[in-house]
A and B are shown apart, each in its own frame.
Chain A
């Protein structure tokens, strides 16, 4: 079945460092890919998405490119802030259906 694998955390960075969180997926069709973020004490929020190969999703300085050839959707940010500290989830949904399959999550801690 479909699945998502993302790098284990926690990831600890200094402010203004470069961030990469790896995500790879397995799917039978042509899924849409998402990054969701969970800030402390809050619900899951959509961070960005991409619906087809080579699409780039971006939001709040974060980017991820849908790479069909490597079945990947790595999350990047050029300069992280303390306020980016959260748990990040990579997810997919099969076309035509909004059911999400999540990775295990990666906790990011950014310190001043």
Chain B
């Protein structure tokens, strides 16, 4: 595709509900990142994949957060038993090998009510 695609663009979840957020990176991009952006703040790193391998998950805030990229392309960020503090925009970014720039999707805005 032309860019990084994320779906859904908006998600409203009731507290305690599980959600799944999808990221379609640019074709051929080896690296994939997830970030969480709270209102009025900069994005904060959640996790990093190189192909299908999750090499860094140090930013995941709790064990309710889980990410996967089973075939090295599409990635899913899953949040179990959502809480109000999970409300944020979740950004996905991809980059080609050895490139020092990231291409960001438009994000999924999650609101937990």
Which chain B residues have a beta carbon within 8 Å of chain A's beta carbons?
A: 3-4, 31, 33, 35, 40-45, 48, 56, 91, 93, 95, 99-102, 104-107
Contacts and interface: CB of A to CB of B under 8 A. Distances in A.
A105 B41 contact: yes
A77 B95 CA distance: 28
A82 interface: no
Interface centre among A32, A36, A43 (most CB of B within 10 A): A43
SS class, residues of chain B in contact with chain A = loop
A96 to B, nearest CB: 9
Main secondary structure of the interface of A (DSSP, over half): strand
B45 A100 contact: yes
Interface size class of A (residues with CB under 8 A): 20 to 34
B42 A89 contact: yes
Given A44-B43, A93-B100, A98 B105 contact: no
Nearest to B101: A46
17 contacts: A43-B106, A44-B43, A49-B101, A89-B42, A93-B100, A98-B31, A98-B33, A98-B100, A99-B56, A100-B33, A100-B35, A100-B43, A100-B102, A102-B42, A102-B44, A103-B42, A105-B41
A98 B95 contact: yes
B104 A45 contact: yes
B104 to A, nearest CB: 4
Centre residue among B3, B93, B104, B106 by max chain A CB count within 10 A = B104
B46 to A, nearest CB: 10
A103 B41 CA distance: 8
A89 to B, nearest CB: 5
Contact of B104 (A43, A101, A105): A43
Nearest to A36: B104
Nearest to B38: A104
Centre residue among B33, B43, B99 by max chain A CB count within 10 A = B43
Interface string A13-56: 00000000000000000001010100000111110010100000
Contacts of B105: 43
